[in-house]
């Protein structure tokens, strides 16, 4: 927990930074530096495709032979509520990191909201095992440092597949050490516990997506290309319009005049007009 | 792992975009956000009311899509955009087959996704467009457990009102998502090769779905 406090300290320090306009150019500058080192390769979508495909095949084999069987056994043995609790616990640590990154991106209101999620769930939610914040209307909003670099103007760069870690990009690989430091293992000092908790996180996450993984086989013509394009599209896009009206069934479907301008009672607003305007 | 998470969530709600529309009897297509609002609300109600859809009854979902969704989707534009520059090289017959196989692929995904819709609500973001715009993006999100699932629509204004021509799930536009895969397949085996591999995918999935049921 001490580390999290330290992280939050860092956040305060960095807040001043984020406010300053120069930050917007930082990402672009990093991108140029990376391009210089890598030459024209940095400009292409997938310059290391043949190597990436080999690593991808290796990761697939590993998943098929180790991770998937373990996750399957885990999901059969561990009851769903406990799996949800485990997921919430890890998600809560992720929320703290999201809060910091939202601040770094200059989305202060959303950042404070994620900070509140972390505070509420860490205390009332028993160290994050219960996700009380969602029920209280504080929606989860996951962010990481790779996204923050993107918001600062850095493009995703070329596609990279890492052994074990899986799909990444030049930008996200640069961010990876920081994102990794903020992973759930951060709360434990002991090396063995770190390994254990990281394994549990991976298995629990994989267990949630057993069925979806099989569906993916059905809709991808070439799994490698499908993963790559999905990764680059998703990581390169920013959905930072925080203003949302929740549609309530039975209230608006038959009342088109309500949509014209008058917000429904369930409107959650207003959020960050600044971020909406800058896009 | 992160990508797996996003991809599986893409699947979980994927093409819900297309399906969202299925319950609309006479949705008002005079304004883009109004259309999406009505379709979203009616879909949530329809899914919650219909046990067959929740159970993933594919033929029922396909029938619904055909009668209700298609009037509000420019599927030709969606397919041609995914096929990209090769579209003009295809014969009308090939275009028709591409369109129908691509549709089956998306509807099939959607059928699987619908079984996972439970306690979700839909959030609609304000329309940021000029009244004179003829192409707009309407942004929504599916809110439930975990991160909200981004679900956006590209709409175009035509003679008979607004129509959807692309859907974005979790930051991924579906037509864009398939463009490289399609080009890769066409490069290797031609347009007929792509039609064949789509048809094979669909037939295989239909077969395994039938096997799972029986």
| ipTM, interface predicted TM-score of the complex | 0.75
The larger pLDDT score, comparing residue A193 to residue B53, is at A193
d(CA A107, CA A151): 10
pLDDT at position B123 is 86
User: Is the CB of residue B121 less than 8 Å away from at least one CB of chain A?
Assistant: yes
Residues 6-65, chain B, touching A (beta carbon < 8 A): 6-12, 14, 28, 31, 33-34, 37-38, 40-42, 44-45, 48
Of the two residues A104 and A272, the one the predictor is more confident about is: A104
pLDDT at A14: 61
Contact A247 B122 (CB under 8 A): yes
Interface test with A, best of B112, B124, B137, B175 (most A CBs within 10 A): B124
| Region B58-75 average pLDDT | 76
A190/chain B closest Cα distance in angstroms: 24
pLDDT digits (tens, 9 = 90+) for B83-130: 999 999 999 999 999 999 998 888 777 666 666 666 678 888 888 888
pLDDT at A261: 38
Whether A233 sits inside 8 A of B147 (CB atoms) is no
Q: Which two tokens stand for residue A185?
A: 């293992």
Question: pLDDT band at residue A33, thresholds of 50, 70 and 90?
Answer: confident
- pLDDT, greater one: A275 or A182: A182
Instruction: Write the DSSP assignment of chain B as a string of letters.
Output: -HHHHHHHHHHHHTTHHHHTTTT-SS--TTSHHHHHHHHHHHHHHHHHH-HHHHTT-HHHHHHHIIIIIGGGB-HHHHHHHHHGGGGGGS-HHHHHHHHHHHHHHHHHHHHHHHTT-SS-EEEEPPP---TT-SEEEEEEEEESSSS-EEEEEEEEEETTEEEEEEEEETTEEHHHHHHHHHHHHHHHHHHHHHHHHHHHHHHHHHHHHHHHH-
**Range from A3-17, A211-225, A258-272 carrying the lowest mean pLDDT:** A258-272
What's the pLDDT at B187?
94
Which pLDDT belongs to residue A249?
67
Across the interface, whether the CB atoms of B8 and A209 are under 8 A apart is answered yes
Contact A205 B105 (CB under 8 A): no
Residue B164, pLDDT above cutoff 70? yes
Q: What is the per-residue pLDDT across A79-93, written as a single tens digit (0 to 9) for each?
A: 989 999 999 999 999
């Amino acid at each position: 927990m001490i580390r999290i406090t330290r992280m939050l300290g860092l956040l305060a320090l960095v807040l001043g930074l984020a406010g300053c306009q120069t930050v917007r150019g930082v990402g672009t500058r990093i991108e140029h530096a990376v391009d210089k080192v890598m030459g024209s390769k940095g400009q292409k979508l997938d310059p290391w495709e043949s190597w990436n495909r080999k690593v991808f095949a290796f990761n697939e084999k590993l998943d098929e032979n180790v991770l998937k069987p373990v996750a399957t056994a885990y999901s059969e043995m561990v009851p769903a509520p406990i799996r949800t609790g485990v997921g919430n616990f890890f998600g809560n640590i992720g929320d703290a990191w999201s809060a910091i990154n939202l601040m770094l991106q200059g989305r202060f209101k959303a950042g404070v909201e994620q900070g509140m999620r972390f505070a509420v769930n860490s205390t009332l939610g028993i160290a994050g095992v219960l996700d009380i914040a969602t029920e209280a209307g504080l929606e989860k909003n996951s962010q990481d440092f790779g996204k923050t670099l993107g918001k600062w103007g850095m493009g995703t760069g070329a596609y990279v597949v890492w052994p074990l870690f899986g799909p990444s990009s030049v930008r996200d690989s640069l961010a990876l050490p920081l994102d990794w430091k903020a992973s759930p293992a951060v709360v434990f000092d002991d090396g063995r516990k770190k390994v254990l908790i990281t394994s549990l996180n991976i298995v629990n996450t994989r267990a949630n997506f057993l069925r979806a993984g099989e569906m993916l086989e059905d809709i991808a013509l070439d799994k490698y290309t499908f993963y790559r394009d999905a990764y680059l599209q998703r990581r390169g896009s920013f959905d930072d319009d925080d203003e949302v009206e929740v549609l309530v069934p039975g209230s608006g479907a038959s009342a088109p005049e309500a949509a014209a301008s008058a917000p429904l009672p369930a409107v959650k607003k207003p959020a960050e007009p600044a971020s909406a305007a800058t896009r | 792992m992160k990508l797996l998470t996003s991809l599986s969530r893409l699947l979980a709600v994927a093409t819900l975009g297309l399906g969202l529309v299925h319950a609309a009897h006479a949705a008002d297509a005079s304004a883009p956000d109004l259309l999406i609002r009505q379709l979203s609300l009616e879909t949530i109600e329809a899914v919650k009311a219909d046990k067959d859809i929740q159970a993933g009854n594919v033929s029922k979902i396909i029938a619904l899509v055909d009668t209700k969704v298609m009037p509000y989707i420019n599927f030709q534009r969606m397919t041609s955009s995914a096929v990209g520059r090769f579209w003009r090289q295809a014969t009308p017959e090939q275009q028709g087959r591409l369109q129908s196989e691509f549709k089956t692929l998306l509807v099939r995904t959607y059928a699987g996704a619908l079984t996972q819709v439970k306690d979700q609500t839909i959030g609609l973001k304000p329309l940021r467009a000029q009244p004179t715009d003829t192409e707009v993006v309407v942004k929504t999100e599916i809110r439930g457990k975990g991160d909200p699932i981004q679900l956006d629509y590209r709409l175009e204004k035509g003679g008979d009102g607004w129509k959807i021509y692309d859907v974005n799930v979790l930051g991924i536009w579906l037509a864009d998502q398939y463009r490289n895969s399609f080009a890769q397949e066409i490069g290797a085996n031609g347009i007929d090769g792509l039609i064949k591999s789509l048809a094979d995918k669909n037939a295989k999935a239909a077969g395994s779905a039938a096997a799972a049921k029986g």
